[in-house]
Amino acid sequence: YNLRQPLYVPFGLQYLFLLTTPVPTDRLDIRLLALIFGALIIMLVQLLFNKNKLATSGNKILVDVCESIENKVCCIKGKSNNYDSINNINSSIDEFRTIVYDKGESNYYLTKEAKIKLNISVALEVISRILYSDNNKSINLIILDTLEELVKVAKEVISINSKENKTIQLNSYNIKKLLNYCQEHEINDLLNLQLLEGMICLDDTLEELTKLDIKQYNVVDKIGDKSEIFSKKNIKSFLTDTDSPKYCYGMRMAITMTIGLFLMEYFKLPEGRWILFTILSLTTPLYETSKHKIRYRIGSTLVGSVIIIILFSIFKTENIRLLIVMLAGYLQGYVNEYKYKIIFVTVSAIGAAAIVGNIQELTIERILMVAIGTIIAIIANKYLFPYNLEKSNEQLRKIYDASIKKMFKELRSLVEGKNNPEFIKHLFVTTSIIESKARMNKQIDKNQNYNNIVNERRYLASNIYELYMWIYRES
Condensed to tens digits (0 to 9), the pLDDT of residues 371-387 reads 999 999 999 999 999 99
Least trusted range by pLDDT, from 154-163, 181-190, 246-255, 367-376: 154-163
**For 228-245, what is the mean pLDDT?**
58
Query: Is 109 strand, coil or helix?
Result: strand
Last residue of a domain, one of 356, 383, 410: 383
State the pLDDT at residue 111: 86
User: Given a cut of 80, is residue 353 above it in pLDDT?
Assistant: no
User: Given a cut of 60, is residue 232 above it in pLDDT?
Assistant: no
Higher-scoring residue by pLDDT: 104, 238: 104
106: phi then psi, degrees, rounded to nearest 5: 60, 30
Packing angle of the helix pair 112-131, 457-474 (nearest 10 deg)? 130
d(Cα 258, Cα 319) in Å, to the nearest integer?
38
The answer on 209 and 79 residing in a single domain is: yes
Among candidate residues 146, 152, 153, 148, the one with its CA nearest the CA of residue 167: 153
pLDDT grade for 238, boundaries at 50, 70 and 90: very low
Among candidate residues 250, 319, 309, the one with its CA nearest the CA of residue 284: 250
State the pLDDT at residue 227: 56
User: Would you say residue 163 lies in a domain?
Assistant: yes
Last residue of a domain, one of 183, 216, 249: 216
User: Would you say residue 224 lies in a domain?
Assistant: no
User: Would you say residue 41 lies in a domain?
Assistant: no
The answer on 176 and 60 residing in a single domain is: yes
pLDDT grade for 10, boundaries at 50, 70 and 90: low
d(Cα 456, Cα 89) in Å, to the nearest integer?
16
Give how far Cα 38 sits from Cα of 6, 10, 46, 281, Å: 19, 12, 12, 22
Q: Into how many domains does the chain fold? A: 3
Per the CB < 8 A criterion, the answer to whether 356 and 318 are in contact is yes
The answer on 291 and 354 residing in a single domain is: yes
The answer on 415 and 376 residing in a single domain is: no
The answer on 257 and 376 residing in a single domain is: yes
Least trusted range by pLDDT, from 107-116, 218-227, 253-262: 218-227
User: Would you say residue 8 lies in a domain?
Assistant: no
Query: Is 91 strand, coil or helix?
Result: helix
User: Would you say residue 397 lies in a domain?
Assistant: yes
The answer on 129 and 83 residing in a single domain is: yes
Report the predicted TM-score, pTM, of the whole model to 2 decimal places.
0.72
User: Would you say residue 43 lies in a domain?
Assistant: no
pLDDT digits 0-9 by tens, 292-338: 788 888 888 889 989 988 998 898 888 888 889 889 888 887 787 88
Ramachandran sector of residue 417 (left: φ over 0; alpha: ψ -120 to 50; beta: rest): left
The answer on 193 and 277 residing in a single domain is: no
The answer on 428 and 356 residing in a single domain is: no
User: Given a cut of 80, is residue 1 above it in pLDDT?
Assistant: no
Partner residues linked to 111 by β-bridges: 220
pLDDT digits 0-9 by tens, 52-68: 777 778 899 999 999 99
State the pLDDT at residue 176: 85
Among candidate residues 154, 144, 134, the one with its CA nearest the CA of residue 59: 154
User: Would you say residue 325 lies in a domain?
Assistant: yes
Query: Is 220 strand, coil or helix?
Result: strand
State the pLDDT at residue 189: 92
Give how far Cα 102 sits from Cα of 52, 64, 195, 218, 433, Å: 12, 20, 30, 13, 11
The answer on 379 and 403 residing in a single domain is: no
User: Would you say residue 453 lies in a domain?
Assistant: yes
Q: Which domain holds residue 121?
A: 53-216
User: Given a cut of 90, is residue 235 above it in pLDDT?
Assistant: no
Per the CB < 8 A criterion, the answer to whether 279 and 260 are in contact is yes
AA letter at 156: E
The answer on 456 and 345 residing in a single domain is: no
What integer best gives the mean pLDDT of the chain?
83
d(Cα 15, Cα 93) in Å, to the nearest integer?
37
Higher-scoring residue by pLDDT: 448, 79: 79
State the pLDDT at residue 162: 44
Last residue of a domain, one of 328, 350, 383: 383
The answer on 410 and 317 residing in a single domain is: no
**For 106-123, what is the mean pLDDT?**
86
d(Cα 448, Cα 393) in Å, to the nearest integer?
9
pLDDT digits 0-9 by tens, 252-299: 988 998 999 999 999 998 888 889 988 988 888 888 888 878 888 888
The answer on 428 and 289 residing in a single domain is: no
